[in-house]
């Protein structure tokens, strides 16, 4: 079972997610939008693993920033991931609803130990973040509830690994031209995350109508 990496451990390895010395950014522009939870980060980075990536930012503050890449498939289904963890769906209806849900490569931090979920509607698990109509949860308890048929989610994708930044690092990368920041209209975000093929999300994200940033997300620690 993947273990949850605590916040101190996460921040100690977070630099693995974005090594500025290895990046080749586009030219910075003035007046960059600030990073806020619920924003989409569109990569201008030309090196793996972030090249051509779209990151959903779910946490940003004095202790650092965290997000999930949403357009890099891990090439397995949720049902297969559960089988690897010796979990099975309680009944056929639950299996048919969730087994083929996609699994994404969320980022380079904790690739073998961190499992997160993007889902609608936002849920009751801890820790979790509510970003308008979309929730982000970082605990395998959600997976057990899916197996038991008690999660009651409309849509869900699992993400292995996270994308992380040390305090102040992300805003510095934005100022340096490594990322374009978008504030998607909350009504359009589920369509991008659950009804657009991963290979099309990079282009689709840049055409979404923009809304106001999610300035006060619910964050349960």
Q: Alpha-carbon distance 14 to 123, whole Å?
A: 26
Top-confidence range, 95-99, 110-114, 200-204: 200-204
Contact (Cβ atoms closer than 8 angstroms) between residue 39 and residue 183 = yes
Question: Which residue, among 175, 184, 171, has the nearest Cα to 210 in the 3D structure?
Answer: 184
Q: Alpha-carbon distance 103 to 106, whole Å?
A: 9
Lowest mean pLDDT among 6-15, 27-36, 130-139: 6-15
End-to-end CA distance of the chain: 21
Q: Alpha-carbon distance 160 to 58, whole Å?
A: 15
Q: Alpha-carbon distance 31 to 128, whole Å?
A: 31
Give, as one character, the DSSP assignment of residue 162: B
Confidence of residue 27 (pLDDT cuts 50, 70, 90): very low
* pLDDT of 159 over the 50 cut: yes
**Residue pLDDT, tens place only, 50-75:** 999 999 999 999 999 999 999 999 99
**96: exposed, middle or buried (Cβ count in 10 Å: 0-12, 13-18, 19+):** exposed
* pLDDT of 17 over the 60 cut: no
Q: What's the chain's average pLDDT?
A: 84
Confidence of residue 145 (pLDDT cuts 50, 70, 90): very high
Confidence of residue 214 (pLDDT cuts 50, 70, 90): low
Contact (Cβ atoms closer than 8 angstroms) between residue 135 and residue 155 = no
According to the model, what pLDDT value does residue 15 have?
A: 41
According to the model, what pLDDT value does residue 107 have?
A: 97
Confidence of residue 13 (pLDDT cuts 50, 70, 90): very low
Q: Alpha-carbon distance 20 to 16, whole Å?
A: 10
Domains of the chain: 7-19+38-211 (3.40.1740.10)
According to the model, what pLDDT value does residue 31 have?
A: 61
According to the model, what pLDDT value does residue 212 have?
A: 73
More confident residue, 24 or 58: 58
Q: Show the 3-state SS of 12-61.
A: HHHHHHCCHHHCCCCCCCCCCCCCCCCCEEEECCCCCCCCCCEEEEEEEE
CA dist 213 → 138, 173, 183 (Å):
22, 19, 5
Confidence of residue 132 (pLDDT cuts 50, 70, 90): confident
- The encoded tokens of residue 7 equal 């916040």
Question: Which residue, among 156, 127, 114, has the nearest Cα to 218 in the 3D structure?
Answer: 127
Half-sphere exposure of 125 (CA within 13 A, CB side): 26
**Residue pLDDT, tens place only, 161-189:** 999 999 999 999 999 999 999 999 988 99
Contact (Cβ atoms closer than 8 angstroms) between residue 88 and residue 147 = yes
């Amino acid at each position: 079972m993947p273990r949850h990496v605590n916040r101190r451990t996460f921040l100690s390895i977070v630099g693995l997610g974005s090594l500025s010395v290895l990046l080749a950014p586009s030219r910075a522009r003035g007046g960059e939008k600030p990073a806020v939870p619920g924003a989409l980060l569109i990569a201008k980075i030309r090196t793996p693993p972030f090249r051509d990536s779209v990151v959903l930012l779910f946490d940003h503050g004095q202790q650092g920033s965290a997000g999930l890449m949403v357009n890099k498939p891990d090439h397995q289904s949720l049902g297969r991931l559960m089988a690897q963890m010796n979990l099975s769906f309680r009944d056929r209806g639950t299996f048919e609803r969730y087994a083929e849900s996609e699994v994404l490569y969320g980022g380079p931090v904790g690739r073998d130990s961190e499992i997160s979920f993007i889902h609608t509607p936002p849920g009751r698990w801890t820790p979790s973040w509510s970003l308008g109509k979309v929730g982000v949860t970082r605990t395998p308890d959600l997976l057990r509830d899916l197996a038991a048929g008690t999660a009651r989610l409309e849509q869900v994708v699992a993400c292995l690994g996270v994308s992380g930044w040390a305090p102040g690092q992300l805003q510095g990368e934005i100022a340096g031209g490594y990322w374009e920041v978008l504030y998607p209209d909350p009504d359009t975000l589920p369509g991008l995350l659950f009804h657009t093929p991963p290979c099309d999300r990079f282009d689709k994200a840049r055409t979404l109508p923009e809304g106001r940033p999610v300035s006060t997300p619910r964050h349960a620690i």
